[in-house]
Structure 1
Amino acid sequence: MGSPSPPSLPRPLASAEAMEPARDAPLESGGAEALLGELEALVQDVVRASSWWERHGVDCAILALSLFALPAGFLCLRSENVLVFALGVTILGVCHYTLTVKGSHLAIHGALTESKRWSKIWALFFVEVCTAFTAEYGRYGHVKMHHGYTNVLGLGDSSTWRLPFLNRYVYMFLAPFLIPIITPLVAVERLRKVELRAALRTFGLILLGLYSHYWLLLNVSGFKSPGSALACMLLTRSLLAHPYLHVNIFQHIGLPMFSQDKKPRRIHMMSLGVLNLPRLPVLDWAFGHSIISCHVEHHLFPQLSDNMCLKVKPVVSQFLHEKQLPYNEDSYLARFWLFLSRYEELMVQAPPITELVGLQ
C-alpha cells in the first residue's frame, strides 16, 4: 500500500508573504524592541495576577504525582498478568518522561521555583539523577545556545537532532530506541570538559539514578536476571522516545533559519522560527505545555512554568496576530508526514538561510 501523500505546508511556512516582514509592523530594531516590550508588559500583568499555585504549584504537583506513582509501577511489574505488567511499564514509562523531560526542562529554566538555590538542586536531581545527563551541558546547550540563538545555523538550530547518515525510516522509527543508551554515554564524554569536582558529582549522580532503577527492578519488581532487568529499563526509558525525538525536530527544523550576522530581533526570531503543536493529553502531561502546545510562548518567555505558558497563550497569540506577526501552528500528524516526505531536504541537506530584509 502506498504511503499517504504529505499534507500541504501550514500557511506560515508555505506562504511567501510569511517569510517577509508584516507591512504594518515596525521593522527597525527600536520598533522590534517596542513590540517585545509591549508584549512583555501584557504577559507580566497576567503573571502578577496569578497565584503561586498557578505560577509553580500545578507543575510541582504533576512532578510530585509522578514520583508517588513510581512504587505502583514497580509493583505492577511483579504480576504475571500481561495487562497488569503492561500497566506497570506504562506507569514507569510515563513517569520517567515526566521527570526527565518536563522536570529537567522546567528545572534548567528555573521555572519550578523562584529560589536560585532550589533551582540548582532540582536541576541536579531531574537532569543528572533522573535523565542521566549533565546539568551544566544541559543548561548550556538548551538555555544559552538553543534559546539564545533559536534557528541560527551552527548555534541554536536544533542540529543536535540531525543525523544525516541515517535514512528517513531508520531515523523516524528505529533511532529513538537508542536515546536511553546514547544519553548517558554522551554525558560521560562531556565530563572530560568540566572541572574534576563537577565531573565526579555528575558521574556519581548518574550512576545513582541508573543503579536505583536497576536495583528496584531486581528487588521490588522481582526480575530474576540482570538481562531481563536491563531490558525492562530500556523498555520503560524508551516508551515515549519516538514523540520526544519527533517533537524536537517538528517545532524548529523546516522553519526559517538565520545566519549569525543577520539574525532578526528576538520577537521576529521567535515568531518565525518556533511552532506550536496542538494539545495532546499524554504529551502535555509528560513533556509539558511549553514543549508541546505553548512552544512559541516558551521561547518568548522561557522562565514561565508550563501552566503559566498555557495561561498566557491567548494573550501571546492575540498580540502576534494583531501585529501581523507569524504564529506557527500545525498538527503532529501533518509534521510527521512533512518530515517523512521531505527528509532529504530538511534533515540531510543543509537548510537554506532565510533572508528577512528590514528585520535585522
Structure 2
Amino acid sequence: MEKERTAGKGPPGGPEAAMSELSCLVRAQIRSSSWWDRYGADWLGLCTGLALLLPGVWLLQAGGVLGALSGCLCLGITHTLLAVKGAHLASHGALAQSQPWRKLCSLFFIEVCGMLPVERGVATHVKLHHGHTNILGLGDSSTWRMPFLSRFLYLFIAPLSLPIITPFVCLGYLRGERLTLALRTVCLASLGFIAHYWMLRWVAGLQSPIYVLACMFVSRNICSLPLIHINIFQHIGLPMFSPESRPPRLVQMAHAVLNLSGCSILDWVFGHGLVSCHVEHHLFPSLSDNMCRQIKPLVSTFLKSKGLPYQEDSYGSRLRLFYDNYDDLMIHAPPITELVGVQ
C-alpha cells in the first residue's frame, strides 16, 4: 500500500501535554456554564421537533400535493431531530447528568426513534468510530463504502434506501445478542414504527394504508442525503493511519476530523456536534451540541497556537470534491499518512 508522508512537528511540550492543557481549559469553561448551556439548549431544539408534529399533521389533513409534501417535510424534520440528533447525543450520554436519565434517553431516542439497539449503536459509534477515528480497518467510515455503485448512485440515490434497510440492519445487530436485549429492542423499535403509523392513519386521517406507508417513507427520507454526506465528508479524504502507527489523540483528531461550515439548517436538525463543531465533538464527545459550539473558539485558537490544523470546509466544496474524486476517495484503498516528527 502506498504511504503518504506528511512532515510536521508536534505541539511544544508534546501532544499528551497539549491535550491535558486543552482539557483543563475546556473543563474550566464547562464549570462556568449554566445547566441551560450544558443541556437546556439542546432539549429546546429537540422539543421544537416535537412541536412540528402539529403543523405536519394539519398539513396532511389539508390534502393536496402541496399539503402532503409540506406535512412530510415537518414530520421529516421531527424524525431527524429525534432519530439522529437525539440518538447521537444520547449515545454519548450528553443529554443528562444522571445515569438513569441517560439510559432512558438512550432507549427512547436510539431504539424507539432510531430503530437500532442501544448496545450495538454505542459500541459501533462511540467505541469504534470515536476510539479509532480514521484508523484503517477500524474507524475509517468503511460502513458507507459501496464500490460497486457509481458516484451518482452512491451520493444521490443509495441514501434514499435508509428507511428500508434500517430495520434489517437492526435485526442483523441483534444476532447473537441476549434474548432479553433482543426482545426489548424489537418491542421498542416496533413501538416507534406503530406510533408513527397510528399518528398518520388515525390522527392525520389518512385512509389508505399504502398512502400512510408512503408518507412514512418520504418523511423518514427527508434528510437521508445530507446524513450520508456528512458522515463521509468529515473524515474520508483526510489523513488515514495504520493501527500500528497511530498518532497521539490530539494530533489524530486535528488531522482526521473536519467541520462543515455554513450549514445552519443542518446544524439545527443534526446538531452542531455532527456538522459545524465535529472537531470539538471528537475531542470532547460527552459534551452536548451547544457546549461544543461554546468551546469552538477556544479549541480553534488552541490548535492553531500549537501548530496543528483546524480543518473546516463548506458542504458544497466537499460535495464537489467527492463527486470529482469518487474513485480515489470511495473505491480505492486510501493511503496511510505518516506524520513525521510526531510519532
Task: Report the equivalent of 1:172.
Answer: 155
Structure 1 vs Structure 2 CA RMSD: 1.4
- Residue 21 in 1 paired to residue 8 in 2? yes
SS of 1:330 mapped into structure 2: strand
Summarize the alignment of residues 127-146 of structure 1 with structure 2, pairs less than 5 Å apart: 127-146=110-129
1:347-358 to 2 correspondences below 5 Å:
347-358=330-341
Aligned partner of 2:146 among 159, 163, 180? 163
Aligned match for 2:137, one of 154, 167, 172: 154
Please show how residues 175-214 of structure 1 align to structure 2 within 5 Å.
175-214=158-197
Report whether the alignment pairs 1:261 with 2:248.
Answer: no
Is 2:134–2:256's contact at 8 Å kept on the other side of the alignment? yes
- Deviation of 1:354 after TM superposition, in Å, equals 0.7
For residue 281 of structure 1, what is the aligned residue in structure 2? Answer: 264
Structure 1 counterpart of 2:193, one-letter code: L
Distance 1:352 1:60 in 2: 41
Conservation of the 8 A alpha-carbon contact between 2:255 and 2:309:
yes
Matches within 5 A, 1:1-360: 19-22=6-9, 25-26=11-12, 31-360=14-343
Q: Return the letter of the residue paired with 2:244.
A: D
Judge which range, 265-274 or 179-188, deviates more: 179-188
Q: Distance in 2 between matches of 1:82 and 1:46?
A: 49
Aligned AA (1:21): G
CA contact (8 A) 1:75 1:220 kept: no
- 1:280-316 alpha-carbon deviations (Å, 9 max, x no partner): 1211111000000000000000011000000000000
Distance in 1 between residues matched to 2:235 and 2:74, nearest whole Å: 30
Between the aligned partners of 2:152 and 2:262, the Cα distance in structure 1 is: 26
What letter corresponds to residue 21 of structure 2 in structure 1? E
The CA distance in 2 between the partners of 1:51 and 1:20, in whole Å, is 42
Give the drift of 1:184. Answer: 1.4
Q: Secondary structure at the match of 1:277?
A: strand
Query: 1:197 & 1:165 partners in 2: Cα distance?
Result: 37
| Alpha-carbon distance in structure 1 between the residues aligned to 2:63 and 2:196 | 20
SS in 2 for 1:346: helix
**C-alpha distance in 1, partners of 2:342/2:178?**
41
Among all aligned residue pairs of Structure 1 and Structure 2, give the percentage whose two residues are the same amino acid.
52
Could you report, residue by residue, the CA deviation over 1:164-202 in whole angstroms, capped at 9, with x for unpaired residues? 111101001101110111111100111112110000000
Report SS of the residue matched to 1:193: coil
Structure 2: which amino acid aligns with 1:164?
A: P
Bigger shift: 65-74 or 251-260?
65-74
**Contiguous gaps of at least 5 residues in structure 1:** 1-15
- TM-score, normalization by structure 1: 0.92
Distance 1:94 1:103 in 2: 12
Say how many residue pairs are matched: 340
Query: Match of 2:337, SS?
Result: coil
Letter in 1 for 2:212: A
CA offset digits 1:324-345 (Å, max 9, x no partner) = 1011111100100100011111
Q: Distance in 2 between matches of 1:138 and 1:132?
A: 10
Contact 1:108 1:135 survives alignment (8 Å): yes
For the residue of structure 1 that corresponds to 2:134, the secondary structure is coil
Cα pair 1:279 1:292 within 8 Å, conserved: no
Q: Which moved more, 1:128-137 or 1:307-316?
A: 128-137
**SS in structure 2 of the partner of residue 153 of structure 1:** coil
Give distance in 1, aligned partners of 2:88 and 2:191.
Answer: 20
State how far apart, in whole Å, the 2-side matches of 1:239 and 1:74 are: 16
2:90/2:109 contact within 8 Å kept: yes
Task: After TM superposition, give the deviation of residue 81 of structure 1 in Å.
Answer: 4.2
Task: Give how far 1:217 is off.
Answer: 1.1
Q: For residue 8 of structure 2, give the secondary structure of its aligned residue in structure 1.
A: coil
Q: What's the CA shift string for 1:43-68, capped at 9, x where partnerless?
A: 11111111000000000111122123
